[in-house]
Amino acid sequence: MLISTKDYDGGFNDVSLKQGIVSGYLNSFGVKDSDGDIIQQGAYKKSISERGPQGTARIKYLLDHDTKKAVGVFQILKEDSFGLYYEAKIGTHTLGVDYLKMVEEKIVTEHSIGFRTVKNEQLKDGTNLITEINLHEGSGLQFLGANEFTPIVGVKSEADLVLLFEALEKALKNGTYTDETFKDIILPKYTAVEAQIKSLTKPTLVTLPTKEEIAEQFKKSFKI
């Protein structure tokens, strides 16, 4: 069974660190995306009814489509006139706690879905109209993949890159993430963004710290 993914650049409606709740839209209706697809309102209805919070609760909330990184549980999953709306309770495990921080600090900024197309039709203009979807998961999506060798995606401009760099730099300095998240997510992404910035034709885009400064900050964060 082929599982497809589709990104959506809509941000989060709300995040509550105290209550551990995040909300937003996983996808929108009626908009032709870069794949030439349009998802029709009603496409998720059957899947949500059967596998959503009021069904078997098998639609998962993940980080970056990683099935080993469940960050919470959908409490509300529904269609409205705009798109696929959700509210999720984030777990109290270490990744859940760090996920809330990453959302608040703009490191996780977008959404994506993992799904299988059940019904679709080709329109005369070549557009693929998706009328029924089997939804497997919704993910909070970072700008780039899980390690430093993954190219940056989702960065639409140099301004986006600078914002991401600043968010990661802040996360690096404040030292409130768990050691696992810091080493596996924050630091590798910081290094990847640094490399991307250095590859740009405008080397003065931002002032980058030296390797020695990064190493020193790493020691401070872990109190070495």
Please spell the DSSP secondary structure of 56-120, one letter per residue.
Answer: T---EEEETTEEEEEEEEEEEEEE-SSEEEEEEEEPSSHHHHHHHHHHHTTSEEEEEEEEEEEEE
CA distance readout (Å), 98 to 21, 61, 110, 114: 13, 15, 16, 22
pLDDT recorded at residue 219: 66
- The residue type found at 177 is Y
The residue written with tokens 């959302």 in the block is: 103
Render the burial of 78-112: b for 16+ CB within 10 Å, e for the rest. Answer: ebeeebbbbbbbbbeeebbbbbbbbbebbbbbbbb
DSSP state for residue 195 in the 8-state scheme? H
Residue 111 pairs with which residues in a beta bridge? 8, 140
C-alpha closest to that of 141 among 163, 96, 185, 109: 109
| End-to-end CA gap in the chain | 47
How far apart, in whole angstroms, are the C-alpha atoms of residue 21 and residue 75?
A: 9
List Cβ neighbours of 214 (8 Å cut-off, separation of 6 or more).
Answer: 172, 190, 191
- C-beta separation of 107 from 177 below 8 A: no
How far apart, in whole angstroms, are the C-alpha atoms of residue 54 and residue 74?
A: 10
State the pTM of this model.
0.76
Query: Averaged in consecutive runs of 10 residues, what is the pLDDT profile of the chain (224 residues)?
Result: 81 84 92 90 97 95 93 96 94 94 87 94 93 96 46 53 83 84 84 77 56 67 61
